[in-house]
Structures are given as C-alpha cells and as structure tokens.
C-alpha cells in the first residue's frame, strides 16, 4: 500500500528501500522557485538510527501498517521470551534480539505492547516505569545519610541501578524504563 508524501503524519510507519521507518518530523516546503517538497526526519524501526530524507511533493511512498498488540510475558524458554496475546490467548515466542534492552525490565506476568509488521516483532513498548524487587545490594549503614550518595542494587531481572543508601534487599522500587534510573519506592 502506498501513500502520498503530502499525507505524512508524525509517528506514521513507512516501508522504504532503506528499511522500515517511522516519521519523527516532517515539513512541507514551497520555495519561491521550483517544485514543492517534503523534508522529513525518519527513525529506523530496527536500528533506531535517525536520518533526514527529502521527498518531492506528492511522491508515492510505501505505507506500513504496524500491528500493536497488548501481550502478557509468561516465561523464558531458552533464548526466547514467551508472550500471550490478551485477546486471542495465542502464544508467541520472541527472540532476545527483537526485545533489546526491554529484557531488563520484563518480569513474568507483566503486560507490554508488542508492535509487529508482517509477523515480525519489532520490539516492545514498555510503560514509563516498572516496579522491580531488589535482590542484591550492600546494607545501608545506620546514620550514613550523605545527601545524594548512591550504591548499586541488582533488581530481580538482573538490571543494576544506582539507588539511595537507605534501600534494602526485598524492597520494591519504581524504575524509569527510558533512562534505567531509580525513581522512588513503590
């Protein structure tokens, strides 16, 4: 399916010769002399690389419909993560490579949105923050309340986060999935 470059919108997915891209930003330009054109900033869905590309006005480009499904992470099976579709209850095996850094934030039972195109899972849309339990950290020293002092803590998924000195093993913490930083106790 193809669409005109005049119909581009932010967030739209395009199937281009360079690969599957999403429109980050676009701008219609009508110079005083010559034909109009559309200047775009595109993000490669697979690699995350951002490129700038210019199209002629009304040029046809491939439109990709990305299917976003809410799925529940059930368990790990070898190198794969097994998800269940919340509507059809179908199970889907997703490779660690397709999930990328999201594996640091996923624990069994979590719900996430998996965008896919032509049956290929393109990654995971995680919530802004997740709650994880501390499994390993040094004990906090009584009276050691230096403002801003941090220590490393290992979470139940293996993620290592810098946390305040008063955090203990077994506590549930809120972690920002965009930056990987400690936000607050849950």
For the CA atoms of 135, 141, 145, 151, the dihedral, rounded to the nearest 10 degrees, stands at -40
Q: What is the pLDDT of residues 136-171, one digit of tens each?
A: 888 866 665 666 778 888 988 888 988 888 888 888
* Same domain membership, residue 52 and residue 26: yes
Our CA angle for 35, 38, 41, nearest 5°, is 150
The CATH number that applies at residue 145 is 2.40.50.140
Q: Identify the pLDDT of residue 41.
A: 92
Reported as type and span, the H/E element at residue 27 is strand 19-29
Q: Is residue 123 very low, low, confident or very high in pLDDT (cuts 50, 70, 90)? A: confident
What's the whole-model pTM score? 0.70
Find out whether 67 and 49 touch, Cβ atoms under 8 Å: no
In this structure, are 52 and 76 located in the same domain?
A: no
One domain for residues 139 and 153: yes
Query: pLDDT (tens digit, 9 = 90+) per residue, 125-141?
Result: 888 888 888 888 888 66
Residues 134 and 98 grouped into a single domain: no
Mark which of 40, 63, 86 sits at the end of a domain.
Answer: 63
Final residue before a domain boundary, out of 104, 121, 138: 121
| Contacting residues for 142 by C-beta, under 8 A, at least 6 apart | none
Q: pLDDT grade, residue 66 (50/70/90)?
A: confident
Residue 45 DSSP code: T
- Residues 58 and 78 reside in one and the same domain: no
At 98, the pLDDT band (50, 70, 90 cuts) reads confident
Domain count of the fold of the chain: 3
Q: Which of 100, 121, 142 is the last residue of a domain?
A: 121
55 and 88 in a single domain? The answer is no
Same domain, 10 and 42: yes
Give the SS3 label for residue 100: helix
- Domain range for 117 is 67-121
Residues 15, 42 within the same domain: yes
Query: For residue 57, what pLDDT band results from cuts at 50, 70 and 90?
Result: confident
SS3 109: coil
Is residue 58 located within the same domain as residue 72? no
Mean pLDDT on 2-17: 86
Q: Do 58 and 16 fall into the same domain?
A: yes
CA distance 154 to 16: 41
Task: Give the mean pLDDT of the chain.
Answer: 85
- Dig out the tokens for 19 from the structure: 């690969």
- The pLDDT value given to residue 2: 83
Residue 173: exposed, middle, or buried by beta-carbon count in 10 A (0-12, 13-18, 19+)? buried
């Amino acid at each position: 399916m193809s669409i005109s470059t005049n119909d581009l919108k932010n967030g739209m997915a395009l199937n281009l010769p360079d690969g599957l891209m999403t429109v980050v930003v676009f701008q219609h330009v009508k110079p005083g002399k010559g034909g109009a054109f559309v200047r775009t900033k595109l993000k490669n869905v697979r690699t995350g690389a951002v490129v700038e590309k210019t199209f002629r006005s009304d040029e046809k480009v491939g439109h990709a419909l990305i299917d976003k499904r809410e799925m529940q992470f059930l368990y790990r099976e070898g190198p794969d993560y097994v998800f269940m579709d919340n509507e059809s209850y179908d199970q889907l095996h997703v490779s660690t490579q397709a999930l990328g850094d999201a594996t640091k934030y996923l624990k069994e039972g979590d719900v996430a949105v998996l965008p896919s195109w032509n049956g290929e899972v393109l990654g995971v849309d995680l919530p802004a923050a997740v709650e994880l339990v501390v499994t390993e950290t040094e004990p906090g020293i009584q009276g050691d309340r230096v403002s801003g002092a941090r220590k490393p803590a290992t979470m139940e998924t293996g993620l290592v986060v810098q946390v305040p000195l008063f955090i203990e093993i077994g506590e549930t913490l809120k972690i920002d999935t965009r930056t990987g930083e400690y936000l607050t106790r849950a």
